[in-house]
Structure 1
Amino acid sequence: MRRPVLWVGVALLALVSAGCSSDMSGSGTSAKDAAAPPQAAQQKTPQQENTGQAAVQPVQEQERQLVRTATVDLRADDVLRAIGEIKNRATAVGGFAGQENSTKKSGSVTVRVPSAELDRVVRDLAGVGEVTRSEVRSEDVTDQLVDVEARIATQKASVDRLRVLFERAGTTAEIAQVESELTKRQAELESMQRRSETLKGKVALATLTVQVATTPIAPPEPEKAGFLSALAGGWDALLAVLGGVLVAVGAVLPFVVFLGVPAAVVVYLLRRRKRVTRMNEAA
């Protein structure tokens, strides 16, 4: 009876979705239930129930998880010195410098700082130069993190059940099928764990981008809405299309002159010859 039970367990686990914890808990215990007494398969101890909730509960009880980013435009007489000071301030609060692109007149630098220190770092930039624009944004990823942690807990349980089936497999065919499904579930679990680590990293460290120039950086123009702006947009699109058509004509014109003139001469000569032939026949 052990071999049919293994095949049934593998089939049930293959039909279970990795993202639905309710389906996973309902169909993944075939092999264990077959080996355990009926009453033991239907009952769960308090320790098992607490273990299933432990992976999700801490995420649900914690504060809202925010991914914070900031953009600051800074005017400074010495661009290189200002960028160096920005990196030093980021390092002083436990952050680090990322991408940098600078010249003597303008430059930009991206730093990662602890989220709790972002507001203070942005405020202290007034001591480096003249702040002409400052923008701070936050994205709530609490629900995403809770969902990923729940999927990880469910996927771990699925992997554990498949390992039990793998240990009980007796034939080469059973081993190959269980091992294939186990490898697939393990890869999905690792992918979820990497996504969780990425989200937690974005929450822990905020991203600050500072643009520095010797002259004030013009702020981005706000998007205009209304009939006049739509009319202006349509006119610009028309000019762009006409410009493209003229460019295409200019590109094709040399080929027309080079090939069209000889072709026109050949057509003219053929028509003249035909006309002369008709006149001779009529005479």
Structure 2
Amino acid sequence: MGKPVLWVGVALLALVSTGCGAANESGGSAAMDNAAPQVAQEKVAPQQKPGQENAPAAVQPVQQQERQLVRTATVDLRSDDVLKAIGDVKDRAQGAGGFAGQENSTKERGSVTVRVPSAELDKVVDGLKQVGEVTRSEIRSEDVTDQLVDTEARIATQKASVDRMRVLFERAATTAEIAQIEGELTKRQSELESMQRRAESLKGKVALATLTVQVSTVPIAPPAPVEAGFGSAFVAGWNAVVEVLRGITVVIGAVLPFVLVLALPAAGVIYVLRRRKRVTRSTEAA
């Protein structure tokens, strides 16, 4: 009886151990399953910045910087009264907030250059149709944004450099140090002023567009297009040869008077020397 009871006890203990192990494994796996999302959330959470929980997946495009454009325009007009047309162009430029610049006009032909705000250039050019017959109109734009940004960055750097040199100048103790630092400070200050003038010039060209108007009583012929080909190349080469020959002729004409002036005395000297040589030979022979 003792041994059967002992074997039954061992079997019961084995069953209990098996059940506990399964329960622990299931509990451990469940705990790990519950902990996995938390671990994943902790790994993802540091990558998000505050205020980005509701951010859209697509990245918003960066706003483009306003471009700085230098605008110029050229307009050809035909008018029976050139002087009146030139005056009307200047009046329209002043009415738009600009001013007149260079002017050259006669009764038959004239031209004027005006500066107008860039935002008003298209309006002023369109209004010239009321002044005369527009035979040609051209508007050009040059982007100087990069130049202006680069110049302003250089100005900021140069200002910091000038400030450092002023601090060193105040701390200088000897005459040699004062003279050396003062010369370097003057040089850097001059470079800073040059950069500032360049920046102001660019800003002025951006703010005010340049408009050139040519007026004539007859339609102004447009510039002839340049045709590339064998004929044009041959003509250009021939013209170059003619110019070279013309230059050589001019040089010869400029040098010839000096040659004539120097040749006569040289010929006289050579004649005298040869005559003396012949006389000497005749004397020796006698």
User: What TM-score comes out, normalization by structure 2 length?
Assistant: 0.66
Say if 2:111 is the partner of 1:111. no
Please give the residue correspondences for 1:81-100 in structure 2 after superposition, counting only pairs within 5 Å.
Answer: 81-100=84-103
Residues 1:219 and 1:157: Cα distance change in structure 2 (over 3 Å) = same
Instruction: Tell me how far 1:153 sits from its aligned partner.
Output: 0.9
Residues 1:167 and 1:225: Cα distance change in structure 2 (over 3 Å) = same
- In the other structure, the counterpart of 1:151 is 154
How many Å separate the matches in 2 of 1:261 and 1:191? 60
SS state at 2:103 partner: strand
- In the other structure, the counterpart of 1:210 is 213
Residues 1:152 and 1:250: Cα distance change in structure 2 (over 3 Å) = closer
- In the other structure, the counterpart of 2:198 is 195
Instruction: Tell me how far 1:105 sits from its aligned partner.
Output: 0.5
SS state at 1:163 partner: helix
> Among residues 134, 142, 148, which one is paired with 2:145 in the alignment?
142
Instruction: Tell me how far 1:128 sits from its aligned partner.
Output: 0.6
How many Å separate the matches in 1 of 2:188 and 2:258? 61
- In the other structure, the counterpart of 2:80 is 77
1:140-190 alpha-carbon deviations (Å, 9 max, x no partner)? 110010011111111111222222222333333333333222222222111
How many Å separate the matches in 1 of 2:265 and 2:198? 67
Residues 1:93 and 1:263: Cα distance change in structure 2 (over 3 Å) = same
- In the other structure, the counterpart of 2:37 is none
> Among residues 240, 260, 268, which one is paired with 1:237 in the alignment?
240
Q: Mind listing any 5+ residue stretches in structure 2 that lack a counterpart?
A: 1-62
How many Å separate the matches in 2 of 1:270 and 1:123? 86
Instruction: Tell me how far 1:73 sits from its aligned partner.
Output: 1.1
Residues 1:263 and 1:156: Cα distance change in structure 2 (over 3 Å) = closer
1:21-62 alpha-carbon deviations (Å, 9 max, x no partner)? xxxxxxxxxxxxxxxxxxxxxxxxxxxxxxxxxxxxxxx974
- In the other structure, the counterpart of 1:17 is none
Residues 1:230 and 1:190: Cα distance change in structure 2 (over 3 Å) = same
1:50-90 alpha-carbon deviations (Å, 9 max, x no partner)? xxxxxxxxxx9741101111111111100000000000000
1:214-264 alpha-carbon deviations (Å, 9 max, x no partner)? 111111111121222101211222333444555666677788899989999
SS state at 1:108 partner: strand
Residues 1:69 and 1:261: Cα distance change in structure 2 (over 3 Å) = same
How many Å separate the matches in 1 of 2:196 and 2:252? 57
**Comparing 156-165 with 187-196, which one deviates more in the overlay?**
156-165
- In the other structure, the counterpart of 2:132 is 129
Say if 2:196 is the partner of 1:181. no
Name the aligned partner's letter for residue 183 of structure 1.
Answer: T
> Among residues 171, 180, 183, which one is paired with 1:168 in the alignment?
171
- In the other structure, the counterpart of 2:222 is 219
Residues 1:267 and 1:120: Cα distance change in structure 2 (over 3 Å) = same
Name the aligned partner's letter for residue 127 of structure 1.
Answer: Q
How many Å separate the matches in 2 of 1:192 and 1:170? 31
How many Å separate the matches in 1 of 2:133 and 2:123? 16
Alignment identity in percent? 77
How many Å separate the matches in 2 of 1:169 and 1:256? 67
Task: Compute the RMSD of aligned alpha carbons.
Answer: 3.2
